[in-house]
Amino acid sequence: MFTRPVGLAALMVALCLVTGCGGVTPTPTTVRPTATPVWNAGMVSGHIKVLPEHAATMDTLAADLHFENTTTDKVVVIPLDPGQREFTVAVPEGTYYTYAWLSDFTWKGAHAACQSGEDCEAPLPQPIVVTAGETISGVDIDKWAMPEGSPLVLIGTLIDGTGADPLRDAALVIREDRIVAVGLRRDLPIPPQAEVIDLRNATILPGFINTHVHNAYERRNLSTWAREGVTTVRDLGERLGFPYFTTRDRLCTDLRRARVIAAGPLVTVPGGYPIAGNNFQSLTVTSPEDARQKINQLIDDGADVIKITLTSGGAPSLSAEEAAAIVETAHQRGVPVSAHATQSENVERALDAGVDDIAHIATDPVPNDVLQRMVEADVSWVPTFEALDGRGRDNLRRFVEAGGRVALGNDAGYLQGLEIGMPMREIEWMQEAGMTPMQIIVAATRNAAYVCNREGTLGTLEAGKFADVLVVDGDPLRDLEALANVRLVIHRGVIINRSEPG
């Protein structure tokens, strides 16, 4: 497994800063936790400078510090006490823009530099560089502005994606493209200028993530996914030579389309799957050194994930040395590796190579000790039952019982007829394999974000994460068919689909 950057889910749990150690963002009435030292972190010290006209407000309202990573968009959220002006806090190593939100969400402060003069109207965020074991001082929050547009507040029953029990009569507060607060409505201040949407008889969920698709560079497909509440897809392979990454970047500027996590081409060997027959041409490697060179180039070009193929039955396939070289090279660059493996023996080969997830369920029985290896190695499984006619369900059942992580994915776009949009047939197969509705929701949100290496910004309804939200009529914990009854979809803070309740 590659080392995930500090500042992701594990770090936030350790700090108890974002989730309040209970899956719900601390509200103003919650006892605010103190920051504890974190491995690979530095200290940031500064002062919140308040304009005279805000002084009275600042004395009664708390502020939340937001450290937004300039490379990954991940946000570390640290709550301050009411009236607190000075701060010294632990922040993971990295480069950040630093902001503060007043807890009524009406004003946002920034550590910023003016373009010209002290009273400029367009201050530029000033990045800070946090180094492990060191302290950076003088990080003053001194430029305040009222954000454009009104905050958006959703009221209703909320499932946050962490696996925690639903929160009844909850409020989700969105400002700009981020979630700024989650909690019980009675505990959260609702700004008087907010747009409040009452979602009674509906359920508020994180935007879903499909971690195994193809043909994601079609505008129609991306629009269908987004409209039905799948706000992120992971494309695990297109034909060699297609302009994957420039197309991804261009298409994803339109929030009416799902964001794309892109692998680029599949990686195989000459004559190996998926070159043969009617499959598209893939990237081939001929030796471990050739593999290292080509994987580095693929990542330089913009790959978010690497997809390898491991097959049996006499067809050429990656050697153990080539697969290990691919994984090692990708992990050194902080990029995860997914493996196509549909037989038990190839699951074992993938484990030997050190991959991060298996992109299909194995259709033959997988021994319990192999399943346990997957769990212990923190390797996720993306079943794609829909593409495999539901085969391998007992493997998934035993994997879940052993504590394994499952993520949603149905191989849409590869075979004609696989669902584009909300993959209800895949969800039904997962339920037939013994997964509970809550486990399936977590697989489609938190676990899927983890598999995509985006758990710091996506997958759960927590402060600091992107405001990707799916609202459905009914209760999916009682009936998963409710997931097809879309009431509202929000992508990065923008409503892209809205319908009246049925």
User: What residues are paired with 489 via a beta bridge?
Assistant: 470, 497
pLDDT > 90 in the chain, percent: 71
Please provide the distance, in angstroms rounded to a whole number, between the alpha carbons at the two ends of the chain.
46
- The answer for residues whose C-beta is within 8 angstroms of residue 92's C-beta and 6 or more apart is 5, 6, 7, 11, 38, 40, 41, 76, 130
Is pLDDT at 61 greater than 50 in this prediction? yes
Check if the beta carbon of residue 64 is closer than 8 Å to that of residue 80. yes
Report pLDDT digits (tens) over 464-486: 999 999 999 999 999 999 999 99
Q: Please, are residues 233 and 275 in contact by the beta-carbon 8 Å criterion? A: no
**If you average pLDDT over residues 85-90, what whole number do you get?**
94
Q: Can you tell me the distance from the alpha carbon of 481 to that of 475, in angstroms, rounded to the nearest whole number?
A: 9
232 near 500, Cβ under 8 Å? Answer: no
**Where is pLDDT greater, at 50 or 382?**
382
Query: Residues in the chain, how many?
Result: 502
- Whole-number pLDDT of residue 86: 94
DSSP bridge partners of 486: 472
Confidence of residue 122 (pLDDT cuts 50, 70, 90): low
User: Does residue 324 register a pLDDT over 50?
Assistant: yes
Backbone φ and ψ for 449, nearest 5 degrees, come out as: -65, -40
Task: Give pLDDT, residue 19.
Answer: 29
What does the pLDDT read at residue 272? 87
Q: What mean pLDDT comes out for the span 32-51?
A: 69
111: left (phi over 0), alpha (psi -120 to 50) or beta: beta
Mean pLDDT of all residues in 68-80: 87
Tens digits of per-residue pLDDT, 205-248? Answer: 999 999 999 999 999 999 999 999 999 999 999 888 899 999 99
Statement: residue 282 has pLDDT above 50: yes
Per-residue model confidence (pLDDT) at position 481: 98
* pLDDT greater at residue 344 or residue 13: 344
Span 195-213, mean pLDDT? 97
Question: What are the residue ranges of CATH 2.60.40.1120 in the chain?
Answer: 1-148
Tokens standing for residue 93: 């190593």
Q: What is the DSSP letter of 361?
A: -
Closest residue by Cα to residue 154 from 129, 190, 128: 190
On the question of pLDDT at 28 being above 50, the answer is no
* Residue matched to tokens 């369900």: 393
Asked if the model's pLDDT at residue 149 lies above 80, the reply is: no
Better pLDDT: 351 or 19: 351
Query: Does CATH place domain 208-458 in 3.20.20.140?
Result: yes
How far apart are the C-alpha atoms of 349 and 104, rounded to whole Å? 53
What is the pLDDT at residue 501?
74
- Say yes or no to pLDDT of 9 above 60: no
CATH class of 1-148: mainly beta
Residue 15 has pLDDT above 60, yes or no: no
Checking if the pLDDT of 267 tops 70, the result is: yes
* pLDDT (tens digit per residue) in 412-455: 998 888 999 999 999 999 999 999 999 999 999 999 999 999 99
Q: What are phi and psi of 351, to 5 degrees?
A: -65, -40
What is the mean pLDDT of the segment spanning 26-31? 28
Q: Of 78-87, 291-300, 490-499, where does mean pLDDT reach its minimum?
A: 78-87
Asked which of 283-287, 310-314, 335-339, 478-482 is least confident by mean pLDDT, the reply is 310-314
For the chain, give every residue range classified as CATH 3.20.20.140: 208-458
Confidence class of residue 351 from pLDDT cuts 50, 70 and 90? very high
State pLDDT tens for residues 155-181: 999 999 999 999 999 999 999 899 989
Beta bridge partners of 179: 174
